[in-house]
């Protein structure tokens, strides 16, 4: 079986091994694609197994991340985002990131595809392009992050093949039209515990949707992620070893005219310990424009988004869209960018 059906309080679990096997059968591909299509039409979140990412690699990533976040802020500040400017790489402190204008109760480090100084977009001072920052005395973090970026890319490509097939498109549609040179961003978030246990409004990150195409999320054993179901209730996403959680971003909602939903989600850390999560964002190429395809109508297409936004309304490249979005989250890094409404 490629998937297990979700109950009212769980996500579908899909084995994507067939999408990564060049010798897989057409029927096996169809089974996985149908399972992904069902998940995308309903909750917009699903969990994957059979992805081939070693559990040992995540363990090393978690250990190196804990070592970094256990440091005092003045040491973490050595790789602060302000040192990278609009390249959007580095550490930010608790409260340094905004969701819907409200400071999150988390700190984090931002990474992305490595762009050497001679890269044309770096030379042109294009936002969100540059080199990653790593602590000079923690080579374990650098090695784990770069290995993780390499390991997740083929998984993202495979899941996008499954999504394309589920939409009735050729399996390589995204690679040919939107992700030949994908925008790849990776973050490590640390959610400190609520020492008092009384601040019920202190969300690690409040209700939101992701900007791009696909997010691949690894989380530690502590949990805290919640997904908003179609009926409005919140589903707790329980962590499990070796499971990666996938969710769709606003660009897939735009591309499919609402047939696939970009699902609101949020995080609260009630574990009493420091929680880690590792979201990997696989998004359209910087210069790509995202159309709305003439797909079959869906009840979701006529439903109002949680935030009242219209993801089909804007015009331009994904790079322009993302830069304007980020300018609202980190306004000090992008003072010349006019935020989108």
Domain ranges within the chain, ordered by starting residue: 3-329
Out of 41-45, 107-111, 120-124, 198-202, pick the least confident: 198-202
Architecture of the 3-329 domain: Sandwich (2.60)
SS3 content of the chain, % helix, strand, coil (to 5): 30, 20, 50
State mean pLDDT over 4-26: 80
User: Is residue 97 pLDDT above 50, yes or no?
Assistant: yes
Question: Which positions ≥6 away from 187 have C-beta within 8 Å?
Answer: 108, 109, 110, 111, 278, 279, 281
- Residue 149 host element (H or E): helix 139-166
Count CB atoms within 10 A of the CB of residue 127. Answer: 22
- Global pTM reads 0.91
Identify the three-state secondary structure at position 29.
helix
Q: What percent of the chain has pLDDT over 70?
A: 88
pLDDT band at 203 (very low <50, low <70, confident <90, very high): confident
Integer CA distances (angstroms), 181 to 20, 74, 284, in order? 19, 36, 8
Which two structure tokens, joined as six digits, stand for 273?
A: 């310990």
User: In this predicted model, what pLDDT tens digit does every residue of 260-318 receive, in sequence order?
Assistant: 989 999 998 888 899 999 999 999 999 999 999 988 756 555 566 666 677 877 789 99
Question: Which positions ≥6 away from 135 have C-beta within 8 Å?
Answer: 68, 75, 76, 78, 79, 141
């Amino acid at each position: 079986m490629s998937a297990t059906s979700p109950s009212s309080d769980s996500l579908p679990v899909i084995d994507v091994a067939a999408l990564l096997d060049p010798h897989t059968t057409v029927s096996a591909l169809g089974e996985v694609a149908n399972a992904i299509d069902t998940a995308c039409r309903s909750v917009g979140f699903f969990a994957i197994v059979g992805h081939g990412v070693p559990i040992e690699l995540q363990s090393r990533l978690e250990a190196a991340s804990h070592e970094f976040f256990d440091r005092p802020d003045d040491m973490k500040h050595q790789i602060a985002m302000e040192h990278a400017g609009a390249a959007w790489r580095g550490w930010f402190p608790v409260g340094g990131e905004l969701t819907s204008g409200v400071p999150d109760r988390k700190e984090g480090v931002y990474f992305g595809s490595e762009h050497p100084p001679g890269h044309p977009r770096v030379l042109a001072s294009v936002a969100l392009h540059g080199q990653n920052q790593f602590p000079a005395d923690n080579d374990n973090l650098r090695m784990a992050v770069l290995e993780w970026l390499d390991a997740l890319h083929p998984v993202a490509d495979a899941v996008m093949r499954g999504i394309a097939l589920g939409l009735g498109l050729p399996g390589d549609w995204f690679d040919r039209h939107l992700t030949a040179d994908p925008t790849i961003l990776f973050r490590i978030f640390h959610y400190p515990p609520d020492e008092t246990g009384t601040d019920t409004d202190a969300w690690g990150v409040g209700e939101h949707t992701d900007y791009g195409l696909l997010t691949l999320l690894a989380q530690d054993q502590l949990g805290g992620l919640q997904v908003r179901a179609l009926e409005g209730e919140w589903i707790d996403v329980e962590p499990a070893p070796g499971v990666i959680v996938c969710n769709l971003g606003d660009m897939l909602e735009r591309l499919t005219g609402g047939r696939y939903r970009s699902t609101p989600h949020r995080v609260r850390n009630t574990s009493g310990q420091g929680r880690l999560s590792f979201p990997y964002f696989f998004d359209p190429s910087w210069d790509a424009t995202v159309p709305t395809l003439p797909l079959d109508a869906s009840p979701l297409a006529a439903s109002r988004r949680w935030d009242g936004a219209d993801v089909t309304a804007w015009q331009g490249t994904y790079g322009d869209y993302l830069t304007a979005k980020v300018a609202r989250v980190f306004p000090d890094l992008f003072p010349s960018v006019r935020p989108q409404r």
